[in-house]
Amino acid sequence: MTHTGTCLCGESKVEIGPDYDSQILCHCWDCKQTSGSAFSTNVLVPKTEVKITGPFKEFNIKAPSGNTVTRVFCSNCGSALSHKSVAFGDSQAIQTGNFRDFAKVPIGVELFVKDRWTGIPAVPDAAQVQAMT
């Protein structure tokens, strides 16, 4: 099944496949700033299974690990669409907040829980990872 998501303005579209049985919730500071919230929700998708169309730009930033992270966002409305890093190998992280059908996909792992905001409890049954190396 192909999943199709759109940015806030609807001009940029992201298509991924196949089905996903869990998501990643990330509490790192880059994801917080990119999402404008306390965390981001993502899936890792092989780059060959990702299609982004419409107006988008890329922004490179160095992560605390020293790796460069390339953030992909709609150049019209600014919605975060994806991010790429050598840490992901042949995959890239796709922001699932742009896909309505991911609302029912459970969180399987939480990353950077050391930076989780007070008052946000751990997701039950999700693996808890303090940070990434």
Task: Express each pLDDT in 71-97 by its tens digit.
Answer: 999 999 999 999 999 989 999 999 999
Architecture per CATH, domain 3-128, reads as: Beta Complex (2.170)
Structure-model confidence comparison of residues 9 and 132, the more confident one: 9
Answer whether 130's CB lies under 8 Å from 114's CB. Answer: yes
Q: How confident is the model at residue 133 (pLDDT cuts 50, 70, 90)?
A: low
Structure-model confidence comparison of residues 9 and 30, the more confident one: 9
In angstroms, the CA 16 to CA 32 distance is: 23
Give bridge partners of residue 128 from the DSSP assignment.
110
φ/ψ (deg, to 5) at 7: -75, 180
User: Could you state, in order of their start, the residue ranges of all structural domains in the chain?
Assistant: 3-128
